[in-house]
Amino acid sequence: MQFAACNWSPGTTYLHRLDGRIKTGVLLAAVVIASVLTRWPLAAGALLVTLALMYTLHMPLKRVLWRMSVPFGVAWLVFLSLIFNTGHTVIGVINFWHVSLPVYREGFTLGFLIMLRILTAVSLSMLLSFSTPMVEILATLRIFKVPGLILDLADMIYRYAFSLEEIAATMRKAQLARGGEGLPWHQRARDVGMVAGNLLIKAFDRSVRVYKAMLARGYDEDAKTPPYYTGPVPANDLRAGALAGLMLLALLVCNFAIA
């Protein structure tokens, strides 16, 4: 039950056992590289490799698809907006009632590439979150000299996001129990807005109480926290990280070396 409210789940696979400093550094670098790829075959290959690594974690397929649904929807909207608005070479026309929408080759190519970039970056982020506890990710970012205030905010957001989700679900169930089901769509939209508004108010009140409690306990954003990692990186994990870094470097070189 203690792992029910987070992405990470314990496991015995190789990625689970790999040192968190190596995983965080390599996968965050992979996210950056995937975001700048200009060749769609390389982006597609990176996406397939990421999905294959995610498969080794033995994650439920339904859970993975649910996590991918939102970024896929965003990527699809970007793709559609580009194919109809970017370029000058028309490769087809879509007729919708009395409106004709031209499809441009340049927009199709760019939109497909950006969609692959988005899905690859999100998949890499999911791979990191599914295989690494958040405490190890934040500790690694502290080693990389990320400002402490940003990490403290990220820690608090991660810690309380699931609590707010549970509160929202409870409020919605109470609303349905009082006759909120079967209403017209505009009344349901109003009810959802009311739930969202009350949730924001509760979140603000909780954030103020938590911050005051932290100040009362001597919180100081400039104070140095004890290091989470006390030992060196294992030699085998270090070699695996170096190999992964060389593969990412080769991917970047191939991307910009192809004429």
Q: What is the pLDDT of residue 1?
A: 32
Q: What is the pLDDT of residue 112?
A: 93
Q: What is the pLDDT of residue 181?
A: 65
Q: What is the pLDDT of residue 223?
A: 67
Q: How many angstroms separate the CA atoms of 193 and 130, rounded?
A: 32
Q: What is the pTM of this model?
A: 0.77
Q: What is the pLDDT of residue 50?
A: 93
- Residue pair 8/134 in contact (Cβ under 8 Å)? The answer is yes
- Show Cβ contacts of residue 225 under 8 Å, excluding neighbours closer than 6 positions: 142, 148
Q: What is the pLDDT of residue 5?
A: 41
Q: How many angstroms separate the CA atoms of 133 and 20, rounded?
A: 8
Q: Tell me the backbone φ, ψ of residue 135, rounded to 5 degrees.
A: -65, -35
Residue 26: burial class (beta carbons within 10 Å; 0-12, 13-18, 19+): buried
Q: What is the pLDDT of residue 4?
A: 37
For the chain, give the longest Cα–Cα distance: 68
Q: What is the pLDDT of residue 179?
A: 67
Residues in the chain, pLDDT under 70: 1-11, 179-183, 185, 221-223, 259
Distances (CA, A) of 155 to 165, 197, 217, 243, 256: 16, 24, 17, 30, 37
